[in-house]
Amino acid sequence: MKAFPSLLRKEWLALRPFAFLLLALFLFGVVYSLSSEYIDRYSMWHQFVPDTESVLIMVFVLSIVVALGLLVREKDEGTLLFLDALPLSRTSVYLAKWVVAYCLLAGFMLLSILEVFIYDRVSQSSLSPPTPWRSYLIYTGLVLFLTGFFLSLMISLSFTRRWALLILGGCFWVVYWMTSLNIPYVELLNPFSLIQRPDSIDEKWLVPWLHLGVLASVGMLAFLVGLFLFSLRTEAMPAFWRRLRDSWFGKLMGLGAIIAILVVWISFFYVNFAGEEEPESSSLPDVAKPEAGSGDEVLTKESKHFRFVYRRRDRKRMKGLIAKSDDIFARVADFLEVPAEKREERITVDISNHLGAHNAGQAYWKKVRMSLPGKNSNLSAEAILGHEVTHVLADQITDGRLEERFDATRWFHEGLASYVECLLFESDAKERAEAEQLALASSWGEVHFTELVDNDLLTARRDPFLVYAAGRIWVEAMVAEYGKAAPAKLLRSIGRPDAPRNLGGLARWRDACLAAGFDLERIRSRFRSDIKKVEEERKGSLVSFPELTKAKIFRKGTRVILEPDLDELPWDELPEGAQLVCRIRPQRDSAPGLYRYSKLNKAKQFSVPAISFLKPQLQFQIGWKTGLENGDPVFGEWSTGTIEAP
């Protein structure tokens, strides 16, 4: 071990050019931040810690760059034979390389965290909350742990050389696939979900020991695999691989590997990061489900503006819809003042596949997928088609600009479609149900316009399906202030060629309203008063439905039990058919597919599988099925709870 310090120095000299590159990147980042950020308003808790995904991707990429050539370079360049001639073991060489590489990456991450912490100190004021030292230390510790995890993983794969990225991409796809199937415990294999900060700065950050233990086991296994492969002293295999590499077959395999790597990673990032899928609508219940058996043959039928795709068993019901479809298109297009040249191409309407029990339609540019309403539904197929056609034509008018920063425009997309549906197709039942939903949610806490224009914020705090009702009220307020042509005028202003690109939040709508000649604050004022009016109109029937935000949470066998406080609940005043429901998600940014739903059982408890909630904290919403106009549950704000220790 006396030679070990010299070995460390040798590895440092080998990695020194990369260290200079990291230092240059760090200094560039400092200069960029100082020139582009208001560092006296930069909060580490609100600006840096929430951006965990970007931080981990940076650690992951840097680990790939360092690890892929760290060990195999010694074998490829023949210097490993020189090291074997010295009084050194392969284990000491491996440890020296790992330690120097880890210190280099960890040092870069610590510098980045220190930089942001200094900005945080500069931005402190008398109104700032106390510094969450424990949370910052846990965050730093988790980042340093994942640095070692990624480094060990990539070193173990580095011996496969150009196949390493392909194998890694395949592993990611396998984990992603198992996650989509809700396979138990698979979440514990995802290193990118390890860091989940609490919702508030004064909330205790609980260490995810189970997740940490699983990843530590995987990382240790990767570390040992890398050590074992590096310790192999057979030279026959490298000779074989050299001959294979120089052959035409090897070159063909190499080309195939490069193409496969590009396909695997581009498709992976596209699936995970390209755009946002619109959640299924909970405000469109009772759609017809396809029945197995006869009648599954797919038929097509065209009208002037549509190409319908449907099952043979639905042909009788489709006959009336197809006959009315062109009139539906004309009514929506006339209302939105769609130019003639944008009315020529047919819209494909796919009714051959079921969308789900709570989703009547989805629109994708020039294609609509929808389901026919069930026998007990208050909706009509004409109203659903009109709703989806509104989406399609709004995108055409704006040349796709309405899809940019969809987090800022989803509320208007759905609000406008709901407004057109209720105005042109007399969906009175839906209008009453939406009014009830909005009135109840508003009675628990005002629905702010700033929440609507930030879909991530709305989803984190409230029921995301409020955009249908609240968006429609906003469009009604705009029409009341600026006339029936206001929606078409606003769409044209959004789609104007000189409009700024990728604006989000309030800035997006200030720009659009200014270009249309509208006063946004005037519309917002009317929007607030109209919501209050809806709330007052429904106050008598909804007074008995309190918002429930507190509950005792514990594990019982294979279930997580959520026990709300119902002692003061006015059961005698509730309408017949009213019932409590609950939905629970593992964390703040969980996809809707990970939500778990439960009804109140006889023991006055909600129960969900414990396998879906492996971390000590979770988020829940308790909602009401009122038994009145709205058949779907109305949820309040999300609450954070901690599973009590047994």
pLDDT single digits (tens) 203-219: 778 788 888 888 999 99
Do the Cβ atoms of 339 and 399 come closer than 8 Å? no
**Closest Cα partner for 164 from 177, 148, 176, 153?**
153
For the chain, the first-to-last Cα distance in angstroms comes to 48
* Number of alpha carbons in the 13 Å side-chain half-sphere of residue 324: 16
Q: Is 176 exposed, middle or buried (0-12, 13-18, 19+ CB in 10 A)?
A: middle
Please give the distance of CA 207 from its chain centroid, rounded to a whole number.
23
Give the pLDDT confidence score for residue 480 in this predicted structure.
93
| CA–CA distance, 441 with 545 (Å, rounded to integer) | 10
Q: What is the per-residue burial (b if ≥16 Cβ within 10 Å, else e) of 608-619? A: bebebbbbbbbb
User: Topology of domain 277-397, per CATH?
Assistant: Zincin-like (3.30.2010)
Query: What residue has token string 């280099």?
Result: 104
- The DSSP secondary-structure symbol of 373 reads B
**Closest Cα partner for 275 from 398, 364, 356, 387?**
364
Query: What residue has token string 């989406």?
Result: 391
Q: Where would I find the beta strands (DSSP E) of 456-615?
A: 551-556, 559-564, 579-585, 596-599, 606-609
Q: Which CATH class is domain 551-642?
A: mainly beta
| CA–CA distance, 203 with 205 (Å, rounded to integer) | 6
Beta-strand relationship, 347-350 and 367-370 = parallel
Q: What is the per-residue burial (b if ≥16 Cβ within 10 Å, else e) of 100-133? A: bbbbbbbebbeebbebbeebbeebeeeeeeeebe
Do the Cβ atoms of 347 and 306 come closer than 8 Å? yes
Beta-strand relationship, 596-599 and 579-585 = antiparallel
Query: What residue has token string 């097509």?
Result: 300
Do the Cβ atoms of 360 and 371 come closer than 8 Å? yes
Q: Give the chain's residues under pLDDT 50.
A: 236-237, 273-294, 356-358
**Closest Cα partner for 282 from 440, 465, 428?**
465
Please name every residue paired with 362 in a beta bridge, in sequence order, or none if there are none: 369
Query: What residue has token string 């006063």?
Result: 519
Residues 6+ apart with CB under 8 A from 249: none
Give the pLDDT confidence score for residue 274 in this predicted structure.
45
Q: Phi and psi dihedrals of 469, rounded to 5?
A: -75, -50
Sort residue 608 into left (φ over 0), alpha (ψ -120 to 50) or beta.
beta
DSSP H or E stretch at residue 341: none
Give the pLDDT confidence score for residue 593 in this predicted structure.
72
Q: What is the per-residue burial (b if ≥16 Cβ within 10 Å, else e) of 397-413? A: bbeebbbbbebbbbbbb
pTM for this structure? 0.62
Residues 6+ apart with CB under 8 A from 58: none
**Closest Cα partner for 510 from 492, 498, 523?**
523
Please give the distance of CA 610 from its chain centroid, rounded to a whole number.
23
Give the pLDDT confidence score for residue 244 in this predicted structure.
63
Give the pLDDT confidence score for residue 105 in this predicted structure.
92
Give the pLDDT confidence score for residue 340 in this predicted structure.
85
Query: What residue has token string 């309405």?
Result: 402
Q: For helices 248-273 and 236-246, what crossing angle results, to 10°? A: 90
- The DSSP secondary-structure symbol of 564 reads E
| Pair of tokens at residue 575 | 């309408």
Radius of gyration of the chain (CA): 29
